[in-house]
Amino acid sequence: MATHQNEIKRRESAARAAIKRAYGTPDDEFGATLFVSHHLEELDPSYWTSHFSTTRPNAQQILEALVLRSHWGGDDEIDMFDFTLPGEVTDYAVCVSFDESGKIIEITMES
C-alpha cells in the first residue's frame, strides 16, 4: 500500500513538473497552454482576485495553483492525472497520461 501511495505522489510530482515545462511550447498547444489562455479569457476577474489577489494572474501562478482533481486508469488507477483550478470553477482539466512504465506520454486539456 505504501508503495502505491509513493507511486501516486511520484507521478503527481512528475506531472506537475511536466505541465510547467510544456507550457508555452508548440507541443503543448492543446494542453496547459490552452487551459491557461481559455480560463484567463473566460473567468470573471473576481475569481482571479479571490484566489490569486490579482485580476489577471500570470501563467506560472495559475500552473502553481492547479489542484489534483483525480487519478484514474489502469489496474492501479495511476495512468491519468487530472489537474484543475481551485474552487470548482470549471469542468476542464489538464490531463497528464502515463505509459505502463510510468513515463509521461501526453498532456491535454479535457472536459
What three-state secondary structure class fits 93? strand
| 35-57 pLDDT per residue, tens | 999 999 999 999 999 999 999 99
Cell 505504501, residue?
2
* pLDDT in the model for residue 23: 98
Among residues 60, 69, 68, 3, the alpha carbon closest in space to that of 33 is found at 60
- Residue 1 reports pLDDT greater than 70: no
Based on the structure, what is the number of domains in the chain? Answer: 1
- pLDDT band with cut points at 50, 70 and 90 for residue 108: very high
pLDDT, tens only, 52-102: 999 999 999 999 999 999 999 988 999 999 999 999 999 999 999 999 999
pLDDT at 96: 98
Range of the domain at 44: 2-110
